[in-house]
Amino acid sequence: MKTVVMWFRKDLRLEDNTALLRALTELKDDEQLLCLFQLNPKQFKTGTKNHDYFFSALAHFEQVVKAQGLPLHFMAGEPLASFQALKKAYPDWRKVYLNGDARGQGQVRDEAMASYFRSAGIEFVVTQDSHLHGENSVLKKDGSYYKVFTPYYLQWRQLPKRPAVKLVEFSAKVVAEPDKFRAGQTAFQAVIAEIVHQFEHVGEQQAEARLNEFVMEEMSRYDKRRDIPAIKGTSRLSSYLRTGELSIRKVWQVAAAMPESDGQQTFLKELAWRDFYHMIYSQNPQQKTEELKEHYRQLPWRQDPQLFQRWAEGQTGFPIIDAAMQQLNQTGWMHNRLRMLVASFLTKDLLVDWRLGEAYFAEQLIDYDPASNIGGWQWAASTGTDAVPYFRIFNPTSQSEKFDPEGQFIRRYLPVLKEVPRAWIHAPHLMPQEVQEKVGVVIGKDYPVPMVDHQEARKLVLAFFKQ
Does the pLDDT value for residue 45 go beyond 80? no
Averaged over 197-210, what is the pLDDT?
Answer: 94
The per-residue pLDDT for 387 is 79
| 53 has binding-site annotation | no
**273 is known as an active-site residue:** yes
Domains of the chain: 2-129+146-165+173-193 (3.40.50.620), 204-284 (1.25.40.80), 294-466 (1.10.579.10)
Averaged over 404-408, what is the pLDDT?
Answer: 98
In the set 7, 156, 252, 301, the catalytic residue is 301
| 403 has binding-site annotation | no
Averaged over 87-112, what is the pLDDT?
Answer: 90
> 467: pLDDT confidence band, cut at 50, 70 and 90?
confident
> 172: pLDDT confidence band, cut at 50, 70 and 90?
confident
| 281 has binding-site annotation | no
Q: At 154, which amino acid appears?
A: L
Averaged over 410-429, what is the pLDDT?
Answer: 98
Q: At 46, which amino acid appears?
A: T
Does the pLDDT value for residue 46 go beyond 90? no
Does the pLDDT value for residue 237 go beyond 90? yes
Indicate the angle between helix axes 262-283 and 248-256, nearest 10 degrees: 160
The per-residue pLDDT for 386 is 82
Averaged over 270-281, what is the pLDDT?
Answer: 96
| 119 has binding-site annotation | no
Does the pLDDT value for residue 418 go beyond 90? yes
What's the CA gap between 175 and 1, in Å, rounded? 11
| 355 has binding-site annotation | no
Q: Among 174-178, 230-234, 375-379, whose mean pLDDT is lowest?
A: 174-178
pTM over 0.85, yes/no: yes
| 130 has binding-site annotation | no
Rg (CA), the chain: 24
**pLDDT exceeding 90 applies to what percent of the chain?**
89
SS3 56: helix
Averaged over 246-275, what is the pLDDT?
Answer: 98
Instruction: Output b/e per residue, 403-438; b: 16+ Cβ within 10 A.
Output: bbeebebbbebbeebeebeeebbbbbeebeeebbee
The per-residue pLDDT for 246 is 98
Taking only the tens place, the pLDDT of each residue in 294-322 is 999 999 999 999 999 999 999 999 999 99
The per-residue pLDDT for 164 is 96
Any idea how long the chain is?
A: 467
| 101 has binding-site annotation | no
The per-residue pLDDT for 321 is 99
Does the pLDDT value for residue 372 go beyond 80? yes
Alpha helices per DSSP H over 406-453: 408-413, 433-439
In the set 40, 213, 273, 395, the catalytic residue is 273
The per-residue pLDDT for 396 is 98
**Residue 77: which of 183, 180, 236, 1 has the closest Cα?**
183
Q: Among 129-138, 205-214, 381-390, 412-421, whose mean pLDDT is lowest?
A: 381-390
The per-residue pLDDT for 53 is 97
**Residue 156: which of 47, 55, 271, 52 has the closest Cα?**
271
The per-residue pLDDT for 41 is 84
**301 is known as an active-site residue:** yes
The per-residue pLDDT for 163 is 95
Q: Nearest 5°: CA angle at 166, between 160 and 172?
A: 130
- The number of helix segments (H) and strand segments (E) in the chain equals 20, 5
In the set 270, 290, 363, 401, the catalytic residue is 270
In the set 354, 358, 373, 379, the catalytic residue is 354
Does the pLDDT value for residue 385 go beyond 90? no
Q: Are 261 and 219 in contact (CB under 8 A)?
A: yes
In the set 17, 50, 336, 373, the catalytic residue is 336
| 464 has binding-site annotation | no
Does the pLDDT value for residue 344 go beyond 90? yes
> 104: pLDDT confidence band, cut at 50, 70 and 90?
confident
**377 is known as an active-site residue:** yes
Q: Are 210 and 236 in contact (CB under 8 A)?
A: yes
Element (H, E) at 37: strand 31-39
Averaged over 119-139, what is the pLDDT?
Answer: 95
Averaged over 22-41, what is the pLDDT?
Answer: 93
> 158: pLDDT confidence band, cut at 50, 70 and 90?
very high
Four-residue CA torsion sign, 237, 340, 413, 194: positive
What's the CA gap between 356 and 349, in Å, rounded? 15
| 273 has binding-site annotation | yes
The per-residue pLDDT for 105 is 81
Averaged over 342-349, what is the pLDDT?
Answer: 98
| 236 has binding-site annotation | yes
| 238 has binding-site annotation | yes
> 197: pLDDT confidence band, cut at 50, 70 and 90?
very high
What's the CA gap between 313 and 324, in Å, rounded? 10
